[in-house]
Structure 1
Amino acid sequence: MEKIDLSTYQVENTIKLSEKATFTNFGASEKELKKELEDIREKLGKFQDVLYAHGKYGVLVCLQGMDTSGKDSLIREVFKDFNVRGVEVHSFKVPTELELSHDYLWRHYIALPARGKFSVFNRTHYENVLVTKVHPEYILGENIPGIESVEDINATFWEHRYRQINDFERHIAENGTLIFKFYLHLSKEEQRQRLLRRLRLKEKNWKFSPGDLKERRLWNHYQDCYEEAINRTSKEHAPWYIIPADNKKAARVIVASILLKALKKYKDIEEPELSDKIKSNLENFKQELEKEAE
């Protein structure tokens, strides 16, 4: 298996999605990729235990991508070795009446990870500059002052949204949330094949919606919106990573590898030491418990 250069996936300069690869396999078989992921996620699971004991950082993992890009299966496979109490997954769908009665970031803010935990956003606050930019009429449901019609949703409006999102991420990063944003970069042809699979396999039919085809017709518009959002909001404290997603097993390895490598850089994340008073009495505590068996 080829060595993975993780630096190639982080967005540090202006990018064009059309120039980014959608497929890789590192010269490895599916079996080799599966074994590599198993090794990495075991280490991630152990790191999460230490993160929880340390109790000063939370980790936010944001997943974005076109329909069928593999977000659900990636979550299932990458976080399989986590203590279930240490990770929470939030899938953000059409806003509820309650959510619409607040600003658009509210539902994301209350789902942020507690210190010591991971939160995974399956679709994220970026839907507010993606799907709503493709369908600006959705914005009208937010009842924003000064926005009475689609014509009011202009370039300045979107500038404000990018700024608000950057401010939101800067605020939570400065208060102990480690942010990772992954865009699962799927080719249009691979999406076609995955949608066909949902139609051909009876057990996959439930995943298909006619709306999938409606959104697919807007593919280029979505790509433009993703490209602009990534370029406007990839920051050192909240970087975007563009992950080739045509090969699901390779995509999982890349995401898990990036998480592990980046998190290991935080040398202050370690298990807390017992106080001198407790350490000096460990033998007494041990003897007390052993006597119960006599």
Structure 2
Amino acid sequence: MDTRSYKVKAGQQVKLADWPTSEDHGWTEEQLEKRLSETIDKLKKWHIRLHAEEEKGIVVALQAMDAAGKDEAITYLFSNLTAQGLKTTTLGKPSETEQKHDYLWRLHDAMPERGQIGILNRSHYEEVLAPRVHHQLEESPLPDQLIDQEVWERRYRQINEFERYMAENGFPFVKFFFNMSKEEQKNRLLERMKDPEKNWEFSFSDVEEREHWEDYQEIFSDMLAKTSTEDAPWYILPADEEDYSRLIIAQVMVELLEEIHPQLPEISGEKKDKLDQYIRKLEAE
């Protein structure tokens, strides 16, 4: 798998209609499951090293329309990793307290510690999506003079600068957009609505937001083009195929961890001598 084919290059123009929501990868279901299992095993090993070394952290942003598979990807992939080395945050509609601050204020508390992978299930990109589709800035506490034609370009720049700041301090970003077809979303929403065991996953707002599908596609395209950088690239997933999308995420994460190349701490000097002493003590019991 060449993950570069899913990566939005810095400065690349994006039209989501040109990116596949599914593709013929040539693997059988059994082959795909085997490859996914093997890649998750690699991810687990590298994550242990990241957590043990405690020098760098990784921020993973997941963004999509409703029912695209973000929650399931988190459950399937990241639940396999060391719990202490994970931090998962869902950034939904800002609270009253959060609205009294700048729009990135609440993001700081979601950032991982060194040695952790921080997962943003929805992210700070919510602040350049729904408010733009629904013209919500006019109803926010933002000063009127800051609500102009340049507001979204400013936010893109600010987000890029924040992500660059984090990367330069040892916390690289990697971002995944779940590119799902409108037909597939309809099928998944209907499954949630009709199955009593899945009703709890459904929200009436999911269908209401679907009515703005074309607006979202246009804004997603703009967002992906303006905020995919060398420090924090976007990967566009063919999200109609859930297992294949999960494999892409896992492979990208492995490649990033291989680049960071964290190492298990070595015990030496007095600590090594003491370790040997305690080994002998326990063996003699």
Q: Quick check: 278-287 or 34-43, which moved more?
A: 278-287
Q: Would the aligned equivalents of 1:182 and 1:242 in 2 still touch at CA under 8 Å?
A: yes
Instruction: Give SS of 2:50's match.
Output: helix
C-alpha displacement of 1:140:
4.1
Structure 2, unaligned runs of 5 or more: none
Residue in 2 that maps onto 1:178: 172
Displaced runs of 4 or more, over 4 A: none
Amino acid at match of 2:56: Y
Residue in 2 that maps onto 1:145: 143
Structure 1, unaligned runs of 5 or more: none
Task: Give the fraction of aligned pairs with identical amino acids, expressed as a percent.
Answer: 40
RMSD: 1.6
Q: Would the aligned equivalents of 1:101 and 1:142 in 2 still touch at CA under 8 Å?
A: no
Instruction: Give SS of 1:278's match.
Output: helix
Residue in 2 that maps onto 1:116: 115
Amino acid at match of 1:123: R
C-alpha displacement of 1:163:
1.1
Residue in 2 that maps onto 1:286: 279
Q: Distance in 1 between matches of 2:263 and 2:171?
A: 16
Instruction: Give SS of 1:62's match.
Output: strand
Q: Quick check: 98-107 or 274-283, which moved more?
A: 274-283
Q: Distance in 1 between matches of 2:196 and 2:20?
A: 31
How many residues are matched? 283
Quick check: 1:91 aligned with 2:84? Answer: no
Instruction: Give SS of 1:260's match.
Output: helix
* Structure 1 residues 193-239: Cα deviation after superposition (integer angstroms, max 9, x where no partner): 11111122221222222222211111010011111111111100100
Residue in 1 that maps onto 2:6: 9
Q: Distance in 1 between matches of 2:8 and 2:224?
A: 8
Residue in 1 that maps onto 2:268: 275
Q: Would the aligned equivalents of 1:185 and 1:242 in 2 still touch at CA under 8 Å?
A: yes
C-alpha displacement of 1:107:
1.1
Residue in 2 that maps onto 1:107: 106
Quick check: 1:214 aligned with 2:208? Answer: yes
Instruction: Give SS of 2:151's match.
Output: helix
TM-score, normalized by length of structure 1?
0.91
TM-score, normalized by length of structure 2?
0.94
Amino acid at match of 2:93: V
C-alpha displacement of 1:162:
0.9
Q: Would the aligned equivalents of 1:37 and 1:78 in 2 still touch at CA under 8 Å?
A: no
* Structure 1 residues 86-125: Cα deviation after superposition (integer angstroms, max 9, x where no partner): 1121111111122112211111111101000011000000
